[in-house]
């Protein structure tokens, strides 16, 4: 087992940690520290909070969020497919057409069921 092959992975991890931690440390060291009552007061949308933070949300909010994530991830498959289209040939083209048909049928189904309607 050759450890030289893991050097790029180690560098990637170290750079990722540095990009995540360095701005926070610099902001803490360089940024101004002038707290006052106004800055430390709790707020939500510009006014004092008047309800419990654990209030229930409508289920439709979660449904729309899940559908957004689902269709966003499905469309993410289009980019690598477009890049590798020449290498995939006709079999890749047919496979992606089947995927697109399933995508459109699913979208049509949730649209007709009213999952995207917000009252």
Residue 14, domain CATH: 1.20.58.1610
Task: Name the pTM for this structure.
Answer: 0.45
Alpha carbon distance 77, 72 (integer Å): 9
User: Is 119 part of a structural domain of the chain?
Assistant: no
Alpha carbon distance 78, 75 (integer Å): 5
User: Is 90 part of a structural domain of the chain?
Assistant: yes
Kindly indicate the confidence band of residue 16, based on its pLDDT and cuts at 50, 70 and 90: very high
Alpha carbon distance 5, 73 (integer Å): 31
- Residue range(s) defining the domain that contains residue 36: 3-112
Average pLDDT of the chain is 83
Instruction: Note the helical H segments in the chain.
Output: 7-30, 37-40, 59-76, 78-83, 85-112
């Amino acid at each position: 087992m050759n450890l030289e092959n893991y050097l790029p992975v180690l560098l990637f991890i170290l750079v990722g940690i540095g990009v995540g931690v360095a701005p926070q440390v610099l902001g803490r060291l360089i940024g101004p520290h002038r707290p006052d009552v106004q800055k430390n007061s709790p707020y939500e949308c510009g006014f004092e909070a008047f309800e419990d933070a654990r209030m229930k949300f409508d289920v439709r909010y979660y449904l729309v969020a899940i559908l957004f994530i689902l269709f966003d991830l499905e469309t993410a498959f289009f980019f690598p497919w477009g890049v590798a289209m020449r290498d995939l040939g006709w079999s890749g083209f047919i496979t992606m057409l089947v995927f697109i048909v399933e995508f459109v049928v699913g979208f049509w189904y949730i649209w007709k069921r009213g999952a995207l309607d917000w009252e």
